[in-house]
Amino acid sequence: MSDGLPEFLDGPVVTAARMLIGMHLRTEFEGKVTEVAISEVEAYAGAEDPASHAFRGRTRANGAMFGAPGTIYVYRSYGMHWCMNIVTAPKGVPSAVLIRAGVPVVGEAVMAMRRGRSDQLTDGPGKLTQALGVSGDQDGTHLRDGTIQLLAGGPPDGLVLSTPRVGISKAKDRPWRFVVAVSAG
């Protein structure tokens, strides 16, 4: 790790996506700590990827995708769910990994309170972001800022599969979704 961040974040987005599986994502907001082991991600490769928010260039909404590796890019999905990405590749190259799911490690009661339920806490990108307390306020922040941290984790509990991305209409065939087999659905 350089500067406290894994070196792979400064490389190709598909490699970074695969390497994020099993790592831990930790948040601390208003004294409440939550942490998950990342179990599902998708890679989005900017200008060369028609499914990427940055495919047509930089806008006010996607500006964080052009940040330094480790920048947090948060956007609204369907106007109601926040989704969190970790920017990869050198600054100015708009690549990011969507964090789709995780396994609760710390703060499950806090996650349940934020979600208003005790099941299905982190098994989708909107649910995960809500459980971790992440919102649009974190868009453009960085993993080094401390409120959202990427920590070393153990190997995933299961085989990691590479599958086509889900919930998109363009470039659907690219196998850029990585998921731990036990949470594949």
Instruction: Enumerate residues 6+ apart whose C-beta is below 8 A from 125.
Output: 77, 81, 83, 84, 98, 99, 100, 101
Task: Determine the pLDDT at residue 5.
Answer: 87
Sketch out the chain's domains with CATH numbers.
7-183 (3.10.300.10)
**pLDDT tens-digit series, residues 119-157:** 999 999 999 999 999 999 999 999 999 899 999 987 777
Q: What pLDDT digit, counting tens, does each position of 10-45 carry?
A: 999 999 999 999 999 999 999 999 999 999 999 999
Displacement of CA 169 from its chain's centroid (Å): 20
Tell me the residue ranges of DSSP E strands in the chain: 24-29, 32-44, 72-77, 81-88, 95-106, 148-151, 160-163, 177-180
> What pLDDT score was predicted for residue 33?
98
Q: pLDDT category, 2, cuts 50, 70, 90? A: low
Structure tokens at 170: 């363009």
User: What's the CA gap between 96 and 45, in Å, rounded?
Assistant: 7
Q: How many CB atoms lie within 10 A of CB 54?
A: 24
